[in-house]
Structure 1
Amino acid sequence: MTDDRRSEPLAAKTPFPAELDERLRDQLTFLIEVDHLKAVLRQSPLVAAEQRENDAEHSWHLAMMVVLLAEYSDEPIDTGRTVRLVLVHDLVEIYAGDTPLYAANDRDDQYEREAHAATELFGLLPEDQASRLRTLWDEFEERDTPEARFAKAMDRFQPLLLNWMARGGTWRTPGTTADDVRRRKAVIGDASTYLWEAGQRLIAEGEARGWARPGQSAE
């Protein structure tokens, strides 16, 4: 996150004509602001290029995974709502920044930082839409619905696939063991027993191939 992201919206660089309806202007301002998401880099490596994934790529990939893998949810889910959840949940990282899964020290105040960012970012929208997006963000965080649990499962399953393809990737983070990976990914099983079984097979095989350190969890 950089300070200029909070000083004024991106749209202020080339202001929209004053004649535009206020509601539309606010919506377009938000849509321009979320272009920042393309510049928020994650730790996960891409498969198709020698570079790190950005948040916009991550969100698109999650949406595609929901469409294709919804059949493996342990509970019936509304696929459209689940897609909306995965598209909204990382928007707050525009202001809060990405928090790497295996960087425990950075996770202590993660929710507070992201909740504050949600208030600022969604506040750019007309009130009714700001409320709807904040409700989706809160639903994802609370995981009290089948859709939110499956959305969270996809959020953990997607980087698992990228790390498998990278022959370890962030599993090789200093101090991280295969048990740490299992513990961080276990939330997949809250939504899909089948996908968590598949994920555990990938982690175990990665450990056997030396892509993740054996040993007990550090926590």
Structure 2
Amino acid sequence: MKTDNLLQQINFIKEIDKVKYIQRKTKLFNSDRNENDAEHSWHLAMMTIVLAEHSDVPVDILKVLKMVLIHDIVEIDAGDTFIYDTAKSHSNTDEERIAANRIFGLLPKEQADEFISIWEEFESGQTNEAKFAKTMDRLEPLLQNVSNNGGTWKEFDVPYDKVYDKKKVIKDGSAAIWDYAEKIINESVEKGILKKTSK
């Protein structure tokens, strides 16, 4: 039985190598190279460890780490949906659900069930762990865009109100991090790297 588990786990490990090929719209800090999903997930995991003290409430750090490391694995099949996409919803989609069942289903049943449950918890964003994980997920590209003089905001003509609306979920996990994030969003307007328009 353990051998069967190992083979299934190795197949999963091979499959998730594809995460390294999923290109995101955001670029690395102070760079013109696009980030991939694996780099994004690694960075969120490090941010979780470093910034955990700023969570509004105590959280299970291991669970948050699991969330940030697996939340984008579904993009192997479903692709990356740009957070400011106007044509496609960034929320949990049928494609992502099918992808979660297929990819996590490569694992032994108990692990598959756990990973699907953790992915669902992250997507719903209701628990303290999910809120903090989403704080990390929204903070990283904000920092990247600021470092790149507007980055994807400029490239895709994203206005202040859209950025503010998508980023305000940060406050659900950390008031302190939201205070910082709100400040740099507003400073980005003052610097002219984020347009304050209604449309």
Q: TM-score, normalised by structure 2?
A: 0.95
Which structure has the greater CA radius of gyration? Answer: 1
Query: Are 1:201 and 2:177 matched, yes or no?
Result: no
* 1:104 Cα offset (Å): 2.1
Query: Are 1:29 and 2:11 matched, yes or no?
Result: yes
Number of residues of Structure 1 aligned to a counterpart in Structure 2: 198
Tell me which of 145, 157, 164 is aligned to 2:127.
Answer: 145
Tell me, what secondary structure is at the counterpart of 2:80? coil
Letter in 2 for 1:160: L
Tell me which of 66, 76, 96 is aligned to 1:84.
Answer: 66
* 1:209 Cα offset (Å): 1.0
Whether the aligned pair in 1 keeps the contact of 2:31 and 2:148 (CA below 8 Å) is no
Letter in 2 for 1:38: K
Runs of at least 5 residues in structure 1 that lack an aligned partner in the other structure: 1-19
Structure ranking higher on relative contact order (CA contacts 8 Å, 6+ apart): 2
Letter in 2 for 1:59: S
Runs of at least 5 residues in structure 2 that lack an aligned partner in the other structure: none
Superposition pairs of residues 44-55 of structure 1, within 5 angstroms: 44-47=26-29, 49-55=31-37
CA–CA distance in structure 1, aligned partners of residues 138 and 89 of structure 2? 15
* 1:110 Cα offset (Å): 4.9
Superposition pairs of residues 20-169 of structure 1, within 5 angstroms: 21-47=3-29, 49-107=31-89, 110-169=92-151
* 1:49 Cα offset (Å): 4.4
CA–CA distance in structure 1, aligned partners of residues 90 and 160 of structure 2? 22
Tell me, what secondary structure is at the counterpart of 2:93? helix
Q: TM-score, normalised by structure 1?
A: 0.86
Runs of 4+ in 1 over 6 A off after TM superposition: none
For residues 138-159 of structure 1, the C-alpha deviation after alignment (integer angstroms, 9 at most, x for no partner) is 1101112101100011000010
